[in-house]
Amino acid sequence: MPNNKKTPGRGIFYGMILCWFILGLLLHNTAIIIIPVIVMLIVSVMLGWKKLSIYSHPMAINHYNEGIKYLQLNEWDRAIECFDRAISTHPQYAPAYQNRGLAWLRKDKFDHAIRDYNDAIKLDPNNVTLYFNRAIAHFQRGYHDKALADCDQVIRLSGDSSTIAVLRGSIFLAQGRNEEAIIVLKDAVEESNRSSAAHLELANAYGRVGNNILALENYNTALAIEPRNPVLYNARGLFYLRTGTFTEAIADCNRAISLDAKFVYSFGTRGQAYFLLGKYQEALNDFNRALKLKSDYKFAIVGQALCQYAVGNTKEAVQLWQTVIELDSKYNSVDKLIEDYHPATEFVEASRKLIIEFNNEHNNKP
C-alpha cells in the first residue's frame, strides 16, 4: 500500500501569507500587516480544533490502538470489535474506519470493507491508502470499473503510477484485456524487478495468452524472490495443473501447505489435481479440508459435487450443486465458475455435465 505524500497546498498558502506580511512591513501599511496575522490566527485555531477533536476522545484512541494490536496479530474479529467501539465513541475518527475496512478486507467481506472506505474517504478525501484499499475491495467484489477509477485516484493524488501498476494489471486480466495487462505488468517489472507480485501477475497474463515459457519463467522468478510464500507456490501449482503436469501441481500445493497449513486455496488446487487424476477420494478429502477452513468456499463445494458425481452419487452431487447456487445464483452455468477460478478444461466440462443433470432434476420436479 502506498504511503501518502504531503501535498504542497498548505506550504504555498503559508508562503503567500508570509509574502503579504513582508509586503506590509516594507510599505509600512498596518492594514496589510494585520490581515495576514488575523488569517493565520483563524487557520491556526481551525487546525488546532481539528487536532483537539481527536485528542479529546481518549477512549476512542485507546480502542483504536487496541484494534491495531489485534490487526497485527491477524485477529480480525477482535480488531473489528475494537474499531466498532472507537467509532461509536468518536464517529468522525477516519483511521478507525480505515483499519476496520482493512480487517473486513482480510476476512473477504468486501462489501463491508467498501462501506468503511467510503466513510473514511468522506472524512479524509486525500488519503491515498484509502483509494488503494478500496480499489482492492472493488476488484475482489468484481466491480472492475470502480476499481480502475480508484486506481486513477491513487495516481492523481500520489503522482506515481508504479504503486498501483500490479493491481491495474490484475484488473485488466479480470476484464479479459490480456495484452493491456501484459504491457502494464511488464512496466511494473521493469520498475521493480524484485517485486514478486509483479512477476506473479505477469506470469498469469502470459499464461492467459498461451505463452507458457514466459509464464513459467516469471513464476520461477517470483519464487526466487519470495521462496517461502505459499501464494506463489499455489499459483505455479495452478499453472502446472492447467498445462496437464499434475505431479508438479501437487508438489507445489504440498509445499504451500507445508508453509501455511491454513492456506485454503492450496487444498482447492490440490483437490482439483487429484480429481483430474481420477483420485476422487483424495480430491474429496482436500475439498472437505478446504471447507473446514472457509465454509463459503464455492470452488470446494463444486469439487465435492463433482467427486460425488464421478463415483455415481448423483443425488448427493445435485444437492451439493444446489448449495453452490444458493451461495451464488450465477453458478447455473459454467461461465461464473470460469470467471471466478479459471479451472482446468476437464474440470469445467465435468461441471457442465453436472449442471445439465441439476437442471434436469429441477425441471422434472412437480
Mean pLDDT of 22-50: 49
Write the DSSP string, 300-350.
Answer: HHHHHHHHHHHTT-HHHHHHHHHHHHHH-GGGGSHHHHHHHH---HHHHHH
Query: How confident is the prediction for the chain on average, in pLDDT?
Result: 88
Residue 366 pLDDT grade (very low, low, confident, very high; cuts 50, 70, 90): low
**In this structure, which amino acid lies at residue 149?**
A
How many angstroms separate the CA atoms of 145 and 160, rounded?
20
- Whether the Cβ atoms of residue 74 and residue 106 lie closer than 8 Å to each other: yes
How many angstroms separate the CA atoms of 216 and 277, rounded?
22
Q: What percent of the chain stands above pLDDT 90? A: 79
Evaluate if residue 2 carries a pLDDT over 70. Answer: no
Residue 363 pLDDT grade (very low, low, confident, very high; cuts 50, 70, 90): confident
Q: Give me the pLDDT at residue 362, please.
A: 80
Mean pLDDT of 155-162: 91
Mean pLDDT of 104-131: 96
Residue 26 pLDDT grade (very low, low, confident, very high; cuts 50, 70, 90): low
Q: Out of 29-43, 87-101, 116-130, 152-166, which region has the weakest mean confidence (pLDDT)?
A: 29-43
- Whether the Cβ atoms of residue 82 and residue 93 lie closer than 8 Å to each other: no
For the beta carbon of residue 346, count every other beta carbon within 10 angstroms: 12
Greater confidence (154 vs 46) lies with 154
Q: Out of 130-134, 267-271, 327-331, 359-363, which region has the weakest mean confidence (pLDDT)?
A: 359-363
- List, for residues 255-278, the tens digit of each pLDDT value: 999 999 999 999 999 999 999 999
Residue 99 pLDDT grade (very low, low, confident, very high; cuts 50, 70, 90): very high
Q: Give me the pLDDT at residue 161, please.
A: 87
Mean pLDDT of 286-300: 96
Q: Give me the pLDDT at residue 253, please.
A: 98
Write the DSSP string, 42-56.
Answer: HHHHHHHHHHHHHHT
Backbone φ, ψ for residue 321 (5° rounding) = -65, -30
Mean pLDDT of 159-178: 93
Is the Cα torsion angle 286, 291, 297, 301 positive or negative in sign? positive
Q: C-alpha grid cell for residue 361?
A: 432434476
- Block residue for cell numbers 468522506: 122
- Block residue for cell numbers 483424495: 282
- List, for residues 11-22, the tens digit of each pLDDT value: 554 454 444 445
Q: Out of 39-43, 70-74, 289-293, which region has the weakest mean confidence (pLDDT)?
A: 39-43
Kindly calculate the radius of gyration of the chain based on its CA atoms and give it in whole angstroms: 26
- Whether the Cβ atoms of residue 116 and residue 98 lie closer than 8 Å to each other: yes
- List, for residues 344-357, the tens digit of each pLDDT value: 999 999 999 999 99
Residues 179, 186, 113, CA angle at the centre, nearest 5°? 80
Q: Give me the pLDDT at residue 45, please.
A: 43
Q: Give me the pLDDT at residue 35, please.
A: 54
How many angstroms separate the CA atoms of 204 and 218, rounded?
9
Q: Give me the pLDDT at residue 192, please.
A: 84
**In this structure, which amino acid lies at residue 85?**
R
Q: Give me the pLDDT at residue 234, please.
A: 97
- Whether the Cβ atoms of residue 94 and residue 61 lie closer than 8 Å to each other: no
Q: Give me the pLDDT at residue 8, please.
A: 44
Residue 171 pLDDT grade (very low, low, confident, very high; cuts 50, 70, 90): very high
